[in-house]
Amino acid sequence: MKIPFGSFSVTEKSRILINEILESNRLSGGKYVRELEKKFAELMDTREAVAVSTGSDADALALAVLYDMGAERGDEIIIPALSFVATGNAVLQAGFMPVFVDVDRETLNIEPEMIEEKITKRTKGIMPVHLMGKPADMDPIMAIAKRHGLYVIEDAAEAHGAVYKGSKIGSLGHMAAFSLYVAHIITTVEGGIVTTDNAEFAEILRSLRSYGRACKCESCVINTAGAHCSKRFSYGDNVDIRFIFERIGFSSKMNELEAAIGIGNLDIFHDILNRRRENLYFLLGEFKRFSPYLASIKKETYEEMGPHALPIIVQDQAKFTRNQLVNFMNSREIDTRNLFPSMPTQCPGFGFMGFKLGDFPQAEYIGENGLHVSVHQDLGIDECKYILQVLEEFIEKYT
pLDDT of residue 257: 97
CA-CA distance, 198 to 120, in Å (whole number)? 26
Domain 12-267 fold: Aspartate Aminotransferase; domain 2 (3.40.640)
Going from N- to C-terminal start, the domains of the chain cover: 12-267, 270-398
CATH architecture of the domain with residue range 270-398: Alpha-Beta Complex (3.90)
Q: Give the tens place of pLDDT for each residue, 106-152.
A: 999 999 999 999 999 999 999 999 999 999 999 999 999 999 999 99
Q: How far is CA 25 from CA 14, 22, 53, 257, 294, in A?
A: 17, 5, 20, 11, 53
What pLDDT digit, counting tens, does each position of 45-77 carry? 999 999 999 999 999 999 999 999 999 999 999
Residue whose C-alpha is closest to residue 97's, from 71, 112, 75: 75
pLDDT given at position 216: 59
> Could you give the angle at which helices 31-43 and 256-267 cross, rounded to 10 degrees?
30
Lowest mean pLDDT among 238-247, 280-289, 337-346: 238-247
What is the Cα–Cα distance from 53 to 177, expressed in whole angstroms?
Answer: 12
The larger pLDDT score, comparing residue 224 to residue 17, is at: 17
Q: Which residue has the higher pLDDT, 215 or 311?
A: 311
pLDDT at residue 34 is higher than 80: yes
Contact 92, 177 (CB under 8 A): no
pLDDT of 355 reads: 98
Contact 264, 9 (CB under 8 A): yes
Q: What is the pLDDT of residue 214?
A: 82
Q: How many Å apart are CA 158 and CA 52, to the nearest integer? A: 16
How many Å apart are CA 275 and CA 280, to the nearest integer? Answer: 9
Taking residues 240-258, report their average pLDDT.
Answer: 90
Nearest partner of 18 among 193, 267, 263, 222, judged by Cα = 263
Confidence class for position 221, pLDDT limits 50, 70, 90: very low
139: number of CA atoms within 13 Å, CB side?
7
The amino acid at 268: I
pLDDT at 218: 60
Sign of the Cα pseudo-torsion (133, 9, 284, 365, in order): negative
pLDDT bucket at 9, cuts 50 / 70 / 90: confident
Are the C-beta atoms of 261 and 9 separated by less than 8 Å?
Answer: no
What pLDDT, on a 0 to 100 scale, did the predictor assign at position 222?
Answer: 45
